Copies of this chain bind each other. A is one copy, B any other.
Amino acid sequence: MKNVTIVGGGLVGSILSCYLSKRGHQVTVFERRADPRVGEAERGRSINLALSDRGWRSLEKIGLAEKVRPIAIPMNGRMIHHLDNSTTYQQYGNDGQAIYSVSRGDLNKLMIEAADAFPHVDFKFNQRCVDVNFDKTTLTFRDTKTNTETVQEAETVFGADGAFSEVRYAMQRTPNFNFSQTYEAYGYKELHIPDKDGLWQLEKNALHIWPRTSFMMIALPNMDGSFTCTLFAPLEGENSFASIKTDEEIRAYFRQHFASASELIPTLVEDFRKNPTSTLVTIRSYPWNYKNVCLIGDAAHGIVPFFGQGMNCGFEDVQVLDELMDVHADLTDLFSAFGKSRKPNSDAIATLALNNYIEMRDLAARPEFQLRLKIEKRIAAAFPQQFQTSYSMVTFSDKPYAVALEKSKQQSQLLDEIMRLNTIADTWESDEVLNIAKKWIDANA
């Protein structure tokens, strides 16, 4: 391949264009939206991003990490806000480890600027992909400003156009393309805690969670001292979006369930009415390539946001693709190796992300689960070579997600066993617990 067309100038499309430019390719990126560097940013439906090790590694390799660092706020742990307004802090990893809150809009703008500075990268905005002809390898784009269509010849195409990928909709009609889109019975809505004189009204370096068993709110810090909050709740039924209709119902809902937070959201009712209730979907597809077109990122494997891994997984996709380019000269071989390598891992993070909603909205608030996390961390500290916490494997390691999922399941059996000890609440810091862990580690090595 020499000339590469990327559909989608979001985070994955942008970083991919950098990697391809560095390899000497001529890259054209077609983006449906307007150039984010000019005009107003979209607001009201962006769960803030949590950049973690996999994302950083991919940024680092292409020389962009230092550009991103100034707009990234470390969150070293999660702050659980209980119903009685008390809090519990759970550190995510070891001292110094953190995930980083980044505004999607700011990051995307920065990435496009950076990509534009790479040689032979050309961005075309306001171009909605409306058709892919796989036989001729042409793409049809509709200019959203002039409403005119142009047919572009393309040598090699990456569909990096997100969970609702038009490239994938077209690929769906090709032979043997497996695909599913699965919506959750819950949705989300963005709310806003403003700054107070440029400062943060909650602990800045934490991800805040108000777990309420079947629903929750979270808040992530922004650079300007504000927090972006997201309410996740069932679409129908008890405590659902459907159950909150009037202004008074909105106020009562927040007073009852999120008293401490709602005081900090002066525009609660307005935000609630103005911002959409968005849905959550998991996308699975395979194979990711047909002829000289390949899906990447959310277009191939959209996931729910609860492990903060969507962007990180997409960035890792690009890094893995780049490594495979050293090995495979033939395009079909490359695409096929890429899909084979990444599919089990994207399946695994999809599962991990779904499971983590249960942890965030329910388990995280339970004393016995908090104890379990402490024990897990203690074992990891005692046997750092053989045992990593489930969260750390996903967030602070480069273990394939599929390995992280498998090991998490295994380690969960050990933790189940330990938690069954009658006296565990009193003895969790004892040698006995570490001895059980040691035995298990030796047996499972």
Contact = CB atoms under 8 A, between A and B. Distances in A.
A279 interface: yes
3 A-B pairs with the lowest CB-CB distances in the bound complex, closest first: A180-B180, A176-B183, A179-B181
A46 interface: no
A178 interface: yes
Contacts of A279: 175-176
A177 interface: yes
A142 to B, nearest CB: 14
Nearest to A164: B173
Contacts of A173: 164, 169
A182 B178 contact: yes
A23 B163 CA distance: 43
A262 interface: no
10 contacts: A164-B173, A169-B172, A169-B173, A172-B181, A176-B279, A177-B181, A178-B183, A179-B179, A180-B182, A180-B284
Contacts of A172: 169, 181
Given A176-B235, A178-B180, A179-B179, 5 more contacts: A169-B172, A172-B181, A177-B183, A180-B180, A180-B284
A179 B180 contact: yes
Nearest to A187: B176
Interface in A159-189: 164, 169, 172-173, 175-183
Number of copies: 2
A174 to B, nearest CB: 11
Interface residues of A, number: 16
A173 B170 CA distance: 13
Contacts of A284: 180
Nearest to A282: B178
A219 to B, nearest CB: 26
A301 to B, nearest CB: 14
A412 B43 CA distance: 56
A177 B178 CA distance: 17
Interface string A256-289: 0000000000000000000000010000100000
Contacts of A176: 183, 235, 279
Contacts of A179: 179-181
A178 B179 CA distance: 11
A178 B183 CA distance: 6
A180 B285 CA distance: 9
A178 B181 CA distance: 6
Interface in A195-254: 235
Contacts of A175: 279
A204 to B, nearest CB: 36
Interface in A404-420: none
A177 B182 CA distance: 8
A173 B168 CA distance: 12
Contacts of A180: 178-182, 284
Nearest to A235: B176
Contacts of A177: 181, 183
A321 to B, nearest CB: 25
Nearest to A182: B178
Nearest to A175: B279
Contacts of A182: 178, 180
A134 to B, nearest CB: 16
Contacts of A183: 176-178
